[in-house]
Structures are given as structure tokens and as C-alpha cells.
């Protein structure tokens, strides 16, 4: 289980492993008047989230020039774009996610002026894989839920109980606080910790369910990739 | 709220939780707006965190007693499962957060995940000819003489006719999943309305609806064509010779509307599995409208749910339910959508809860 506190704030780091990679140079004018549409969140939960860990694994493996913080930046940028998209017209969430990332990489490459040839080649291969399921097959919905359950079960006791009362029993923050004898602020802290931990764990999980992509699994996926040609 | 050590993802999680807690003060709202406007990565991380928060509802829907028999984490005593409340107009109109906790509402449907066998009747027959029918709420497995199996979903009917040259199945009603034993000399062909599906050693489901036929492939590949185009074919591959034939491979779905060419789209393994949740006596929803979900639940039950309000019917539903648990589903839907479930003879009516006063 990766510890969130060990992650660094991306913007604090001056160097991104490869000097030219500055994803945050990709400016976005999309704004945020009301980011409160529940239907949109459900759509993203159902159609985009399931593909995130596969995307991250792919980026880490194929775009070796990109560090973990760049992967985070890229994924966050992609979610911001997708939020602003007209999702009623999107038929395939996975293909759309990959297409969005490809655009982001192309924009970044254009702006940085120094265009690493290797990266452009990788962008083209992103294009190729966007249409069909990748070699790393997604785990089934049931396994995915089991994984979520395991993450919740591994939360520190009080944090887990707060989370369960809110999410499974549907108590309000105030009611959870009253039931547990905690302040609402503490309830909020526990819930934040639970959500952040779940998000961080899902981001680093490989489709096989390991918590970090190890070399053997990366190699296996590469072989499968080539076998697909 | 600002701590230097928090990453963007953590800050986003904090704001997502803060939003979940109810109305924010004007200052907090301004602070959030400022934070969101400052950087597109903030917006993306916030969208991701809120979507994940929503996504965890699926876990709630599946959740049995916390850390129960199977888990290594004993639950706090306050979390012991409680009896499922009877679904009545009286308690259905109380505020959901008090009277109808999610755990309570879902306990029945959820417990079913562990003991599904009870709700589903399995019959093993070994036949080469005949007509097989499943009742409402029944899922029935039939082993065929060639080693193939077919699984009938609720209220479905097939006829089977095997000859030396061909294995012919007709889906007369409903939906069936086929796991086809490989036999090159005898093509395995499923017909539904005017559509024919030819298996190429594989597993696939065919669903017959009023206006269309859906074919979902979970393994291998099938060829889909107009029934007439498929007749009189030899073992040779159709796709090469006739343009009207479409090939559908694993984790794709073909939708064939009357008199139209099949529309094939990739759906991915997880979605394919979700669509076949009925194999285990479950139905699974992942953002479908309440109206769609109710129609699916109703297929499995004699008693029916009616959604009285179009706006309510358009709300998205997430969760896994036992297909025959009409009351569990309606109570959960009512609670999740802040509506009411009211029993009316053999019907359960789902109504918006906020504006109307109970009669």
C-alpha cells in the first residue's frame, strides 16, 4: 500500500526527469462554472475511471521519459478535458480517454519545441491502441469490487468505520460525528484519508492487482503487445 | 484546509469530501472556486476524486456485513447487520438517512451474492432435441448432447434441433447464453427473429427484444447475418463470401434492428461480464436510467415496478441486485434517488419524494 504522504507535490519539483517535459505548460481555458452535475460524475465513474490504471501502466512503460509526477499531471489534465467534453456523443470511454491523452502529449510536444522523436512515435502507437482492448485486459467488475473492498478493509480502524457509516449506512457527516463521538472536522479528515488512499491505490494497481508494476509483469505485457501485431 | 504537504490529489479528495458533506459556506465555496480556477490539474483531480466517490456506491451496493465472516477485520458492533425493514408506505416516506440505511435496504439483495443458489433453479438435462422454457425469475442451465451448454435467462424459450449436418437453435423468447463445443463438421447456428448467429467455437449470448436482437460475445467469435443469408451454408467461412455477414469477436456486442445491418461495437470484458450478471441471478447497473433498470428487473419478476415520474425515471442507477428482489431494489432506488416506494396491489410504485405529501 503506497503511502500518500510520500508523494511529492508535482509543482515543487523543478526537474521532471527529462527537462523538456513540462505538462503544466499546457494551458487550458476550460473553466469550471458549476462542477456539480451528478450525471456527469456517474458517467465518468462508469466509463473513464475503469481505464485509468491501465492507462497509467501504459504511460509508465512506454513513455519512459515520463516520471510519475508527469503521469499524474497528464491524468489530471485528461480528466479536466473529459469533464468539459460533450459526453453524450462519446461511445467508447476508453478510446476517448486515450485520444485525450494523445492530444495532450501532442500539445506538450509542440509547445516544448524540442520534440523528442521517440515520443512522437509513441504518440502514434497510442493512436493505434485506442480502438481495441489493450494487451492488459481489465479485470472483471467483480474482481475490481473485491479490490476496492480490500482497500477499504485495510484502512485504519476508525477511518474505516467513519467511511462505512457514511458510505454504506448513508449517515450524514454530522450523524457520523455524533455516532462516533467525533467532531465533524475529524469525520471529514477520515473520509478524505479514505478517499485519497483509495484513489492512490487504484492509480498504482496493475490489472493483475499488484500494487506496483514489477519488471516481470511489464515484460509480459510487452511480449503480449508484440504478439498482437 | 491548506497544508503544504498535501498533493493535488489529496486536496482534491478533501474538496470532494467537503462537497459530500452538504452545503458549503460562501467563503468555502469561494475558496473551492479559486482553487479550481487556478489550475486545470486541480479541476481534473477534483473530477477524478468526485467520480471515485460516486464509484464507491457500487461497493456499497455489494457490501455485506462489514468485515463479516470472510474478512479478517471484525466490524464494530454498531455495524452489525440489521433486519431488512418491511417495505411499506409508512417507513418509505421517512427520511432515508434515518429510517432506511443503505445497508439495511441492500442487505437482502447483497446477502444474496453469497447464497445465490437458493434463488436460481438449475436443471441439468442432456438432450439433442426439444423445447426448453424458463419461468419468470428462473435461470436454467441445459446441457446439450454435443457437449455445449445453454443457459436460459428469465422468461425465455428455445427450441433445439440437432442433425448430423447442423446444430440448430431457435431463440423464441428472452435471452440465452451459449457455450459451444467445438465441432467443425456441424455448424452451431442460433436464430432469433430474422437474425442468425453462427458460432465459431465460442461463448456468446443472444437476447431477443421487441425491435432488435442483441448478440454479446464473451469468448471466440461469431458470425451474424440475416437468417436467409445464413441458410444453406457449408462449413466455409461466411464473412469472406457474403458482405451481409458481420463477424463479432470477444467483448463486442452486435445490435441488429429489424431489416438493418448489424451494428457492432466493442464493449470490453468488464461490460460483457456485467451484461451477463444474470448468469448468477444478479442484475448489475452502472449508470443506466432508473427506467431502464426497472424494465430489466421487471423481466425477472411477476410483480412489477412502475416509475410514476419521467424525471425520476431518467435518474442514473448504480449497483448490483438480486434479479428477483423487487422490494430490495425499489427500496434502494427510492433511498438513493430520494423518492418513495409505495406498494399498490401487485405493483410497487416509485415516486419522487420531495414535493409530494403522502396520501
DSSP string, A142-175: HHHHHHHHHHHHTS-HHHHHHHHHHHTS---HHH
What is the C-alpha separation between A166 and A150, in angstroms, rounded?
18
Indicate whether B76 belongs to any domain.
Answer: no
Confidence class of residue A65 from pLDDT cuts 50, 70 and 90? low
The residues near B355 (Cβ < 8 Å, ≥ 6 apart) are: none
Residues B49 and B149 placed together within one structural domain of the fold: no
Indicate whether B319 belongs to any domain.
Answer: yes
Indicate whether B234 belongs to any domain.
Answer: yes
Nearest CB partner across the interface for B49, out of A82, A137, A199:
A199
Note whether B333 contacts A: Cβ–Cβ < 8 A: no
Q: How far does the CA of residue A5 sit from the closest CA of chain B (Å)?
A: 7
Say what the pLDDT of residue A76 is: 93
Say what the pLDDT of residue B227 is: 75
Residues B95 and B129 placed together within one structural domain of the fold: no
Note whether B321 contacts A: Cβ–Cβ < 8 A: no
Residues B97 and B27 placed together within one structural domain of the fold: no
Residues B184 and B217 placed together within one structural domain of the fold: yes
Q: How far does the CA of residue B341 sit from the closest CA of chain A (Å)?
A: 18
Can you give the CATH number for the domain in which B107 is found? Answer: 3.55.50.30
Q: What angle do CA B46, B11, A32 make, to 5 degrees?
A: 35
- Which residues in chain B have Cβ-Cβ distances shorter than 8 Å to A149? 59, 62-63, 71
Say what the pLDDT of residue B260 is: 75
Q: Answer yes or no: do B41 and A80 touch at CB < 8 A.
A: yes
Say what the pLDDT of residue A62 is: 64
Residues B153 and B177 placed together within one structural domain of the fold: yes
Residues B100 and B133 placed together within one structural domain of the fold: no
Q: What angle do CA B154, B157, B158 make, to 5 degrees?
A: 135
Give me the residues of chain B with pLDDT under 70, please: 1-5, 60-129, 201, 229-243, 259, 354-359
Say what the pLDDT of residue A55 is: 84
Residues B185 and B43 placed together within one structural domain of the fold: no
Indicate whether B60 belongs to any domain.
Answer: no
Residue B153: which domain range?
A: 121-274
Q: SS3 breakdown of chain A: % helix, strand, coil, rounded to 5?
A: 65, 0, 35
Which residue in chain A has the smallest CA separation from B113? Answer: A142
Q: Does the complex come out with an ipTM higher than 0.85?
A: no
pLDDT above 50 for A157: yes
Q: Give how many domains chain B has, as a whole number.
A: 3
Say what the pLDDT of residue B332 is: 79
Say what the pLDDT of residue A203 is: 78
Residues B314 and B346 placed together within one structural domain of the fold: yes
Indicate whether B69 belongs to any domain.
Answer: no
Residues B231 and B287 placed together within one structural domain of the fold: no
Burial class (CB in 10 A: 0-12, 13-18, 19+), A212: exposed
In this prediction the pTM is 0.45
Indicate whether B2 belongs to any domain.
Answer: no
pLDDT above 70 for A126: no
Say what the pLDDT of residue A192 is: 95
Residues B229 and B302 placed together within one structural domain of the fold: no
Confidence class of residue A103 from pLDDT cuts 50, 70 and 90? confident
> Do residues B335 and A170 lie in contact, with contact meaning Cβ atoms separated by under 8 Å?
yes
Say what the pLDDT of residue B2 is: 41
Q: Among the three residues B239, B255, B274, which one is the final residue of a domain in this structure? A: B274
Indicate whether B338 belongs to any domain.
Answer: yes
The grid coordinates of residue B224 equal: 451474424
Which residue in chain B has the smallest CA separation from A73? Answer: B41
The residues near B261 (Cβ < 8 Å, ≥ 6 apart) are: B244, B246
More confident residue, B150 or A229: B150
- Which residues in chain A have Cβ-Cβ distances shorter than 8 Å to B269? 133, 137-138, 140
CATH of domain A141-203: 1.10.10.10
Note whether B58 contacts A: Cβ–Cβ < 8 A: yes
Can you give the CATH number for the domain in which B172 is found? Answer: 2.60.120.1440
Residues B222 and B287 placed together within one structural domain of the fold: no
The grid coordinates of residue A104 equal: 495532450
The mean of the pLDDT values for chain A is 67
Note whether A22 contacts B: Cβ–Cβ < 8 A: no
| Max Cα distance, chain B (Å) | 78
Task: Give which of B221, B219, B222, B220 is closest to B195, Cα–Cα.
Answer: B222
Residues B130 and B112 placed together within one structural domain of the fold: no
Q: How far does the CA of residue B268 sit from the closest CA of chain A (Å)?
A: 7
Q: How far does the CA of residue B352 sit from the closest CA of chain A (Å)?
A: 17
Q: Answer yes or no: do B8 and A140 touch at CB < 8 A.
A: no
Amino acid at each position: 500500500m503506497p503511502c500518500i504522504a510520500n508523494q511529492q507535490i508535482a509543482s515543487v519539483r523543478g526537474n521532471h526527469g527529462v527537462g523538456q517535459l513540462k505538462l503544466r505548460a499546457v494551458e487550458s481555458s476550460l473553466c469550471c462554472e458549476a462542477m456539480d452535475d451528478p450525471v456527469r460524475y456517474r458517467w465518468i465513474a462508469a466509463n473513464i475511471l475503469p481505464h485509468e490504471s491501465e492507462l497509467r501502466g501504459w504511460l509508465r512503460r512506454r513513455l519512459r521519459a515520463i516520471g510519475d509526477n508527469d503521469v499524474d499531471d497528464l491524468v489530471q489534465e485528461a480528466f479536466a478535458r473529459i469533464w468539459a467534453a460533450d459526453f453524450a456523443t462519446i461511445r467508447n470511454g476508453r478510446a476517448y480517454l486515450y485520444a485525450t491523452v494523445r492530444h495532450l502529449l501532442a500539445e506538450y510536444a509542440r509547445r516544448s519545441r524540442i520534440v523528442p522523436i521517440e515520443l512522437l512515435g509513441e504518440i502514434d502507437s497510442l493512436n493505434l491502441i485506442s480502438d481495441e482492448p489493450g494487451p492488459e485486459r481489465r479485470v472483471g467488475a467483480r474482481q475490481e469490487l473485491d479490490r476496492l473492498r480490500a482497500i477499504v478493509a485495510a484502512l485504519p480502524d476508525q477511518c474505516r468505520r467513519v467511511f462505512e457509516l457514511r458510505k454504506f449506512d448513508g449517515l450524514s457527516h454530522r450523524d457520523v460525528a455524533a455516532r462516533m463521538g467525533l467532531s465533524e472536522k475529524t469525520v471529514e479528515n477520515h473520509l478524505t484519508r479514505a478517499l485519497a488512499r483509495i484513489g492512490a491505490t487504484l492509480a498504482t494497481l496493475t490489472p493483475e492487482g499488484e500494487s506496483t508494476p514489477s519488471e516481470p509483469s511489464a515484460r509480459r505485457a510487452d511480449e503480449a503487445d508484440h504478439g498482437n501485431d | 484546509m491548506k497544508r503544504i504537504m498535501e498533493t493535488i490529489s489529496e486536496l482534491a479528495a478533501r474538496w470532494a469530501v467537503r462537497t459530500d458533506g452538504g452545503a458549503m459556506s460562501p467563503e468555502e465555496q469561494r475558496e473551492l472556486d479559486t482553487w479550481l480556477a487556478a489550475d486545470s490539474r486541480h479541476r481534473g483531480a477534483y473530477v477524478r476524486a468526485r467520480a471515485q466517490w460516486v464509484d464507491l456506491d457500487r461497493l456499497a451496493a455489494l457490501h455485506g456485513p462489514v468485515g463479516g465472516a470472510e474478512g479478517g477485520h471484525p466490524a464494530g458492533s454498531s455495524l452489525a447487520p440489521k433486519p431488512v425493514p418491511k417495505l411499506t408506505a409508512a417507513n418509505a416516506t421517512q427520511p432515508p438517512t434515518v429510517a432506511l440505511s443503505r445497508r439495511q435496504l441492500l442487505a437482502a439483495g447483497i446477502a444474496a451474492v453469497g447464497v445465490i443458489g437458493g434463488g436460481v433453479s438449475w436443471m441439468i438435462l442432456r438432450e439433442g432435441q426439444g423445447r426448453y422454457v424458463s419461468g419468470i425469475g428462473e435461470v436454467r442451465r441445459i446441457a446439450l448432447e454435443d457437449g455445449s451448454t445453454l443457459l436460459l435467462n428469465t422468461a425465455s424459450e428455445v427450441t433445439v434441433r440437432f442433425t448430423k449436418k447442423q446444430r440448430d437453435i431457435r431463440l423464441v423468447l428472452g435471452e440465452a447464453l451459449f457455450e459451444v463445443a467445438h465441432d467443425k463438421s456441424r455448424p452451431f447456428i442460433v436464430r432469433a427473429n430474422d437474425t442468425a448467429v453462427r458460432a465459431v467455437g465460442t461463448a456468446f449470448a443472444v437476447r431477443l427484444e421487441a425491435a432488435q436482437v442483441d448478440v454479446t460475445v464473451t469468448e471466440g467469435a461469431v458470425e451474424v447475418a440475416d437468417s436467409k443469408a445464413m441458410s444453406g451454408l457449408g462449413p466455409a467461412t461466411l464473412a469472406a463470401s457474403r458482405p451481409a455477414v458481420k463477424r463479432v469477436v470477444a467483448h463486442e456486442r452486435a445490435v441488429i434492428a429489424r431489416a438493418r445491418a448489424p451494428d457492432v461495437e466493442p464493449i470490453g470484458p468488464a461490460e460483457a461480464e456485467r451484461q451477463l450478471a444474470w448468469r448468477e441471478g444478479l442484475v448489475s447497473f452502472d449508470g443506466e436510467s432508473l427506467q431502464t433498470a426497472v424494465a430489466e428487473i421487471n423481466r425477472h419478476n411477476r410483480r412489477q415496478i412502475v416509475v410514476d415520474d419521467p424525471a425520476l425515471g431518467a435518474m442514473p442507477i448504480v449497483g448490483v441486485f438480486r434479479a428477483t428482489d423487487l422490494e430490495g431494489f425499489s427500496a434502494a432506488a427510492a433511498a438513493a434517488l430520494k423518492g418513495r416506494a409505495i406498494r399498490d396491489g401487485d405493483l410497487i410504485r416509485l415516486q419522487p419524494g420531495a414535493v409530494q405529501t403522502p396520501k
